[in-house]
């Protein structure tokens, strides 16, 4: 149970740490660069330790595409947090797992159970509610003039991009050898690191001491949450691990966002988050 709790905290750390750093005036682009550089170095270390250097054209293409979604997702995350806040953005990102599930149903003819169908329906219900959070409550004055239409567009793009990223991982797991996973991660984080290196170089940004610290913390937490997830699966039934980890991360981020980061949520957004948590539990119930 300790591993599952640690996974929930670490998987929520990405958004929380970035929001905390942003609120204190630190620049997110150099933090993102350090974060993905750390992940790239870990991927290279894994290849060497596992002596796994095999890859295919498909692995390369999926890894590069996933890297593009990661890089784009980071920039979309910045806009989404300005428009809707870290709590709503986290819920949107978690709900994106519905996209690969729907793809699996339509393309691979996987048969959803009743709970998953209800989860997909609740996702479609929750998303419109999550576009209604007033940006005035969570964003600078320069963003407060954003319309509801802009909020809806940002939510859709964030949801779709994250869903495509999850879909690339799903396709990799279904079609590629597990021995190619280290190289898949190498291509993924290699692309994201390259993109952020270009951005930082173009803006002539040199990370400060604290931006290095935040970047390393985010990178290590991303790696550690995967490890703790696997450890949790070794000791707890998957029927518990999958829905609890998905739903609890949203609840934990909501708690930290409201209590410590002082975000304010409208009633519709609160209802949307509650529906999102229920939807996340339902769509994961098949993983038992």
* pLDDT, one tens digit for every residue, the chain (288 residues): 788 899 899 989 989 999 999 999 999 999 999 999 999 998 899 888 888 777 889 999 999 999 999 999 999 999 999 888 899 999 999 899 899 888 888 888 888 889 989 999 999 999 888 876 554 444 444 444 444 577 788 889 999 999 999 899 888 888 888 788 888 889 999 999 999 999 999 999 999 999 999 999 999 998 888 778 868 877 787 667 778 888 899 999 999 999 999 898 888 889 999 999 999 999 888 654
Cβ–Cβ contacts within 10 Å for residue 137, how many?
Answer: 15
CA dihedral 227, 230, 234, 237 (to 10 degrees): 140
Closest CA to 243 of 281, 271, 272: 281
- Rounded Cα–Cα distance for residues 274 and 279 (Å): 9
Asked if 31 and 243 touch (Cβ cutoff 8 Å), the reply is no
Closest CA to 66 of 163, 194, 162, 168: 168
Residue 230 Cα distances to 14, 35, 137, 234, 237, angstroms: 19, 22, 38, 7, 11
Compute the radius of gyration of the chain from its Cα atoms. 18
Q: What pLDDT does 150 receive?
A: 74
Closest CA to 88 of 155, 187, 174, 146: 155
Asked if 186 and 90 touch (Cβ cutoff 8 Å), the reply is no
Q: Could you give the 3-state DSSP secondary structure of residue 24?
A: coil
């Amino acid at each position: 149970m300790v591993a599952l709790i640690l996974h929930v905290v670490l998987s929520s750390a990405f958004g929380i740490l970035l929001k905390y750093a942003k609120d204190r005036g630190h620049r997110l682009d150099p933090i993102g660069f350090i974060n993905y550089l750390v992940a790239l170095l870990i991927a290279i270390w894994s290849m060497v330790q596992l002596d796994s250097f095999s890859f295919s054209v498909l692995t390369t293409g999926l890894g590069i595409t996933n890297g593009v979604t990661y890089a784009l997702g980071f920039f979309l995350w910045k806009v989404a947090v300005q428009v809707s806040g870290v709590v709503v953005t986290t819920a949107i990102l978690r709900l994106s797992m519905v996209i690969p599930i729907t793809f699996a149903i339509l393309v691979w003819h996987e048969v959803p159970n009743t709970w998953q169908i209800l989860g997909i329906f609740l996702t479609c219900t929750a998303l419109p509610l999550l576009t209604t959070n007033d940006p005035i409550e969570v964003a600078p004055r320069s963003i407060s003039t954003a319309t509801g239409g802009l909020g809806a567009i940002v939510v859709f793009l964030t949801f779709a991009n994250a869903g495509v990223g999850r879909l690339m991982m799903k396709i990799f797991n279904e079609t590629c050898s597990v021995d190619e996973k280290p190289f898949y991660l190498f291509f993924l984080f290699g692309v994201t690191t390259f993109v952020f290196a270009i951005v930082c170089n173009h803006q002539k940004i040199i990370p400060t001491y604290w931006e290095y610290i935040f970047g390393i913390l985010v990178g290590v937490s991303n790696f550690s949450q995967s490890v703790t997830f696997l450890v949790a699966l070794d000791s707890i039934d998957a029927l518990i691990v999958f829905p609890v980890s998905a739903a609890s991360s949203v609840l934990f981020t909501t708690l930290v966002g409201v209590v410590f980061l002082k975000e304010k949520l409208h009633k519709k957004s609160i209802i949307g988050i509650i529906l999102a948590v229920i939807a996340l539990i339902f769509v994961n119930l098949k993983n038992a």
